[in-house]
Amino acid sequence: MNYEILARPSYSMLRVELQPDEKLVTESGAMAWMDSNMNVETTTRGGLLAGLKRKLLSGESFFQNTYSAAGGPASITLAPGPAGDVVALQLDGELFLEKGAFLASTEGIKCDAKFGGLRGFFNEGLFILHCSGRGTLFFNAYGEIQEIEVQGSYTVDNGFAVAWDPSLDYRLTRARRIRSFLFSDQLLLSFSGHGRVWVQSRSSAALANWVHPFRRVRRQKN
């Protein structure tokens, strides 16, 4: 399998070329264009319960698409929903992903919803994705992605966290002296240990906070 990340970091797209014996699992609706000899199979991947967990608990799609090349090499281009970067990670173990970050993977990787503690509004859901296995994992973000090597302790606003290694312990805390959208306490992820954290340069909650004063208000007539 060959792949290329295009137009990064602001409007990244993922182009993958598959050989006839290779398969690519993608988030539903991510396909932008592909060769005519690319086959697609749509399943819940893991059964009904696994699909429901992804949809209801972690905000991912109920169905996932598995693409394969027929009669020769074929290419497919994927476009994530948010405007931002895409990361390709060679996984041999486990990784935690925030809600909506999964884009695609090779067949040897499985992603399930996992309880991640109390979260706030918008993309900061109650559950995270636990990805495990061996292969190539592609995940996306809103804005540019930065990889941070944690050696000890590190704190990230919950709306900026994208992924992290399971070797890190994490704890959700409220920064009561810092007020965010609608005057609620800011939620922080406090990491400790040794491992990597991927963060995004923009937050959907911060965008909503910026847009909020410009919203159109419909007045009721008495």
What tokens does 196 get?
């990597």
220 is a domain residue:
no
Report the Cα 72 to chain-centroid distance in Å. 31
Which range marks the domain in which residue 140 is found?
2-213
| pLDDT for the residue 171 | 84
221 is a domain residue:
no
The 10 Å Cβ neighbour count of residue 167 is 12
* Mean pLDDT, the chain, whole residue set: 83
Of 109, 61, 91, the residue nearest 166 (C-alpha): 91
Give the model confidence (pLDDT) of 22-76 as tens digits: 999 999 889 999 999 999 998 765 554 554 444 444 445 557 899 999 999 999 9
- Entry pTM: 0.81
| DSSP bridge partners of 145 | 200
Q: How many domains does the chain have?
A: 1
145 is a domain residue:
yes
117 is a domain residue:
yes
Q: How many CA atoms lie within 13 A of 50 on its CB side?
A: 12
Task: For residue 215, name the pLDDT band (cuts at 50, 70, 90).
Answer: confident
| pLDDT for the residue 59 | 47
Give the model confidence (pLDDT) of 69-118 as tens digits: 999 999 999 999 989 999 999 999 999 999 889 999 999 999 888 765 54
Task: For residue 2, name the pLDDT band (cuts at 50, 70, 90).
Answer: very high
Domain with 57 in it: what CATH number? Answer: 3.60.160.10
65 is a domain residue:
yes
200 is a domain residue:
yes
